[in-house]
């Protein structure tokens, strides 16, 4: 599973990147056919409080799963986004079981 982390208009520290990689690797235990995960971190300049945005694009055979969440910190936004992408991944896995 290939993991990419992109930051837009800022540099994330290694601690945040490692936390994200660790949590994304846990998704592999839910569904082993994950091809790649692209995570984008950016700051929304139009918001004052909840201005940290995390987007996750997960590629699985035959489909792409996407979620985006916003919070006061990147850790909180990533927590929300990873929970949502895990739900989508479980739904995708169940759908694949029906087709097989």
Dump pLDDT digits (tens) for 32-82: 999 999 999 999 988 788 999 999 999 999 899 999 999 999 999 999 999
Band (pLDDT 50/70/90 cuts) for residue 14 is very high
Cβ-proximal residues to 14 (8 Å cutoff; 6+ apart), any chain: none
Q: Report pTM.
A: 0.93
Which of the listed CATH numbers 3.40.50.720, 3.30.160.100, 3.30.565.10, 3.40.50.80 matches domain 2-99? 3.30.160.100
Q: Provide the residue ranges of all domains of the chain, joining segments of one domain with +.
A: 2-99
Q: How far apart are CA 74 and CA 72, in angstroms?
A: 7
């Amino acid at each position: 599973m290939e993991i990419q982390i992109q930051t837009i208009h800022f540099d994330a520290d290694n601690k945040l990147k490692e936390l994200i990689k660790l949590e994304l690797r846990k998704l592999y235990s839910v569904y082993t056919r994950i091809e790649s995960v692209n995570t984008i971190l950016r700051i929304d300049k139009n918001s004052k409080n909840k201005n940290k945005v995390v987007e996750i694009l997960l590629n699985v055979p035959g489909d792409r799963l996407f979620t985006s969440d916003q919070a006061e910190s990147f850790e909180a936004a990533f927590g929300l986004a990873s929970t949502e992408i895990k739900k989508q991944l479980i739904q995708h896995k169940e759908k694949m079981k029906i087709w097989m």
